[in-house]
A and B are shown apart, each in its own frame.
Chain A
Amino acid sequence: MKKTRFYECHKALGGRMIEFFSWEMPVEFKGIIEEHMAVRTAAGLFDVSHMGEIMVRGKDALAFIQHLTPNDAGRLALNQAQYTALTTPQGTFVDDMLVYCLSLEEYLLVVNAANTDKDFGWVAAHQAGFAVSVENVSDGYSQLALQGPKAQEILQTLTSINLAGMKSFWAEHGKVAGIDALVSRTGYTGEDGFEIYTTSAQPAAILEEIMKVGQPFGLLPIGLGARDTLRLEAKLMLYGNDIDDTTTVLEADLKWIIKFKKGDFLGRDVLEKQLTEGIKRKIVGFELIEKGIPRPHYPVFAAGQKAGQVCSGTFSPFLKKSIGLVYLPVELTGIGTEVEVGIRDRQVKAKVVSTPFYKRGGK
């Protein structure tokens, strides 16, 4: 199994380690609910070094990324990032990802750990005709995410980068705890926060210093368990659960990452046709009205007929409700529509609700 460069830190912090797509990662430290609430009310620190990084360099780097993705990378200024996807010609997902513009001829793609090899293969296989070089630089990168309302205050004590002046989805190079890093105001929890990338061979001091400085603020180390519940409350997609190569970007309710005006890209024709003709199914959020917990693959029924199956589902630690995502025929996607979730031998009442389930500063 692969270990991140923070593995020893996790052991020292009492992390319970599990295998996650061939990585040995902490699933929890103090407990999923306590960690979850720490991120919502104070701050949490995540090791996300298992994420993949693919560097695209060259004269045609931008044109190449425009070809591979539905969002408009042409809008990215130097040191700006965007959420986007690698799409198939069918308008479905190879993966979802972040793209960073590091220079006009250098873009960093940050992809899901489980998909890194597949994505790199996909990107490399499409480079014909573009003056680019593509490199899987995942092994050289470590990545931490510091998330929560106290994230800025904690991180500012360890870096000379002016964090207050950094807008959402912008990045800057600088030192964190004396180590060279790229810091961006991004994350996958629904909170304000930062992601810290470094190619240092010994980055453990960053984690250790953040933990030390953050302690008085209520900072906790966070495992994969709470990462999952946090991102689901914020309705952030998990590849493999909520999106994959059978779901289109429109069905996944991610129309905002499609910029048809930018020109051609893989899957454009299908997505444009789907937009004109209308989609037949769409992902929606639901919550249970009765007791129970929806889990991935549980069947969802409407008027006694199977209408879909649960993608992501969990008990929401913040809302104290059972929530989930499901693809339903569009006629069943109206807010308030009642459906049932098959949990073992019961059919448990649920209803379609507006998403995100949790919005910072909102409900």
Chain B
Amino acid sequence: MYPKEYRFTKDHEWVKVEGDTATIGITDFAQKQLGDVVYVELPAVGKTLDVHQTIGVVESVKAVSDVYSPLSGEVIAINEDLNNSPETLNHDPHGKGWIIRLRLKNKSDLDQLMTVGDYEKFLEGPAS
């Protein structure tokens, strides 16, 4: 279910790193908790983010949820398809439902994130 090469946060974001670029989204667990996503607020391209700074907001019919940046860096792309098709976040959270791409500032930020094994254990634990 959760891609092997991705890294994860306790706030249910995922990260996929290719070179010095990181793609960020929310996990399948997160989209299931939210329910039908109807609105995504995206940041501006060029914005610099620190670790745990708010990237944007995902809203379902019932809930409003902040999305936090797992890494520091500069926003180099946003998924504009989400403006017109926010439901993509429900249908393909780990693929077409990506939210932003960052140019990594600090590769060592990655060391703080969970591997897929850690994340699956985290989901099973009482804290999830």
Chain A residues within CB distance 8 Å of chain B: 27-28, 31-34, 225, 229, 291-293, 295, 314-315, 317, 344
Contacts and interface: CB of A to CB of B under 8 A. Distances in A.
A32 B57 CA distance: 19
A293 B36 contact: no
Interface stretch (B2-10, B15-23, B59-67, B101-109): B59-67
Given A32-B62, A229-B61, A293 B39 contact: yes
A15 to B, nearest CB: 13
B82 to A, nearest CB: 11
B43 interface: no
Given A291-B83, A293-B59, A344-B57, A33 B36 contact: yes
Given A31-B36, A293-B38, A293-B39, A317 B57 contact: no
Given A28-B35, A292-B39, A33 B57 contact: no
Contacts of B35: 28, 31-32, 225
A109 B86 CA distance: 42
Nearest to B87: A33
Nearest to A228: B62
Interface residues of B, number: 12
Contact of A225 (B38, B41, B59, B62): B62
Interface in B32-83: 35-36, 38-39, 41, 57, 59-62, 64, 83
14 contacts: A31-B36, A32-B35, A32-B36, A34-B36, A225-B35, A225-B62, A291-B83, A293-B38, A293-B39, A295-B64, A315-B38, A317-B36, A317-B61, A344-B57
A314 B39 contact: no
A225 B41 CA distance: 22
A287 B86 CA distance: 19
A63 to B, nearest CB: 43
Given A31-B35, A32-B62, 9 more contacts: A28-B35, A31-B36, A291-B83, A292-B41, A293-B59, A295-B64, A314-B61, A315-B61, A344-B57
Nearest to B66: A344
A315 B39 contact: yes
A317 B59 CA distance: 14
Contacts of A295: 64
A38 to B, nearest CB: 13
A14 B123 CA distance: 20
B64 A225 contact: no
A27 B39 contact: no
B64 to A, nearest CB: 6
Contacts of A292: 39, 41
A357 B55 CA distance: 33
Lowest 8 CB-CB distances: which A-B pairs, in order?
A: A315-B38, A32-B61, A33-B36, A293-B59, A225-B62, A31-B36, A293-B39, A32-B36
A29 to B, nearest CB: 11
A338 to B, nearest CB: 21
A143 B62 CA distance: 24
B109 to A, nearest CB: 26
A180 B74 CA distance: 66
Looking at B57, B59, B62, B64, the one whose CB has the most chain A CB atoms below 10 A away is B62
Contacts of B64: 293, 295
A314 B41 CA distance: 16
A44 to B, nearest CB: 15
A328 B61 CA distance: 25
Nearest to A33: B36
B36 A291 contact: no
A28 B36 CA distance: 10
